[in-house]
C-alpha cells in the first residue's frame, strides 16, 4: 500500500507541481511524478479505481487555461488526456469529496458545487450547482447522500445548507 501526497515544486519558469509516493515503512519519498495541474489545491484519492483527482486552480487566458480537474492513473503515474474545458470547475475550487457508493466527485467552490460521475469508464461532468454563496466546504454522508454545505455568511449569519443529491435529476 502506498500513500500519496501532493508535493509542490518550484522549477525555474512557470510554477508546477508533482506527486510523490511515500512508502509507509520508509522515511523518505520515492521519485516524484509530474502533475500537469498548475497550482493544485485539493487532492482526492479513489483507491478502488487507482485514480487521483486534483484541481488546477490557475487561470491563464493566454493558454487558455481554466480551473479544472486533473485525473492521474496511480498505476502508471500519468495524467488522463481530459479536455480542461470538459472538466471545468465552478469559480475558486476549494475542496473535493468522493461519494464512493454513488461514485460521484463533489468539488466545493466559492462559485458553487461541481459534480462529476466517476464510475469506471464514465468520467464526465454532471454540472455546476449554486446552493449558497461561497460554498468552499462540503461534507457528504455516503449512507444517505445528504450533502452538508456550511456557508459563512447568508444574510449576515452563518448557515448550514443541507441537500440530498439525486444524480438522476429527479
Could you report the per-residue pLDDT of 78-114, keeping only the tens digit for each? 888 888 888 889 888 889 999 999 999 999 988 888 9
Please give the mean pLDDT across all residues of the chain.
76
**What DSSP character marks residue 101?**
T
How far, in Å, CA of 19 to CA of 52, rounded?
10
User: Using an 8 Å Cβ cutoff, are 138 and 77 in contact?
Assistant: no
Residue 6: predicted pLDDT: 39
pLDDT of residue 106: 94
**Up-side HSE of residue 170: CA atoms within 13 Å toward CB?**
1
- The lowest-confidence range among 57-61, 91-95, 96-100, 130-134 is 57-61
The sign of the CA dihedral 120, 127, 52, 69 is positive
pLDDT of residue 8: 36
Q: Which residues pair with 19 in a beta bridge?
A: 6, 33
Q: pLDDT digit string (tens) for 4-49?
A: 343 333 232 334 455 555 555 555 444 444 545 555 678 899 999 9
Amino acid at each position: 500500500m502506498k500513500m500519496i501526497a501532493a508535493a509542490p515544486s518550484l522549477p525555474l519558469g512557470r510554477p508546477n507541481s508533482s506527486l510523490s509516493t511515500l512508502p509507509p515503512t520508509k522515511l523518505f519519498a520515492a521519485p516524484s511524478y509530474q502533475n500537469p495541474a498548475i497550482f493544485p489545491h485539493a487532492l482526492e484519492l479513489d483507491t478502488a479505481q487507482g485514480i487521483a483527482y486534483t484541481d488546477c486552480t490557475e487561470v491563464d487566458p493566454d493558454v487558455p487555461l481554466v480551473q479544472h480537474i486533473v485525473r492521474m492513473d496511480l498505476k502508471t503515474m500519468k495524467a488522463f488526456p481530459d479536455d480542461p474545458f470538459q472538466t471545468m470547475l465552478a469559480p475558486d475550487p476549494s475542496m473535493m469529496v468522493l461519494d464512493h457508493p454513488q461514485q460521484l466527485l463533489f468539488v466545493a467552490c466559492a462559485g458553487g458545487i461541481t459534480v462529476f460521475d466517476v464510475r469506471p469508464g464514465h468520467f464526465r461532468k454532471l454540472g455546476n450547482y449554486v446552493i449558497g454563496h461561497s460554498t468552499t466546504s462540503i461534507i457528504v454522508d455516503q449512507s444517505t447522500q445528504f450533502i452538508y454545505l456550511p456557508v459563512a455568511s447568508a444574510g449576515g449569519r452563518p448557515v448550514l445548507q443541507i441537500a440530498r443529491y439525486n444524480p438522476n435529476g429527479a
